[in-house]
Amino acid sequence: MIEIKRKDGESVESLVRRFSKKVQQSGLILRTKKRRFYEPPTTKREERANALRRGIIRARKEYLRKTGQLQEEDLKSRNPKVMAMIKRSLH
């Protein structure tokens, strides 16, 4: 934890500047940025299952588009009704 105490007669701006410098030097910001988007590793089995699921959904969307049940703009949106229609047609 970084702790800064105000010196006698020190302005707020210089206090903030010293604090910012300490934070930069500690590497705290770099560590939190690296950790921000961390995703735990998945197993090969999970990766394969996800890839199969994506392939099935992609094929189903293409089929619905070719048969005229889905429009081009529907494919790009994440509309819940469209997503439900795709999921319904999978079963």
For the stretch 8-50, pLDDT in tens is 999 999 999 999 999 999 998 899 988 998 888 999 999 999 9
Query: Cα dist. 48→45, 76, 78 in Å?
Result: 5, 24, 24
Instruction: Tell me which amino acid residue 86 is.
Output: I
For residue 90, name the pLDDT band (cuts at 50, 70, 90).
low
Instruction: Tell me: pLDDT of 64 over 90.
Output: no
- Domain edges within the chain: 53-90
85: left (phi over 0), alpha (psi -120 to 50) or beta: alpha
Write down the pTM of the prediction: 0.46
Q: What is the pLDDT of residue 43?
A: 94
- Letter string b/e over residues 66-82, b meaning 16 or more CB atoms within 10 A of that residue's CB: eeeebeeebeeeeeeeb
Mean pLDDT computed over every residue of the chain: 85
Q: Please give the Cα distance from 50 to 37 (Å, whole number).
A: 20
Q: Is-contact 73 59, C-beta < 8 A? A: no
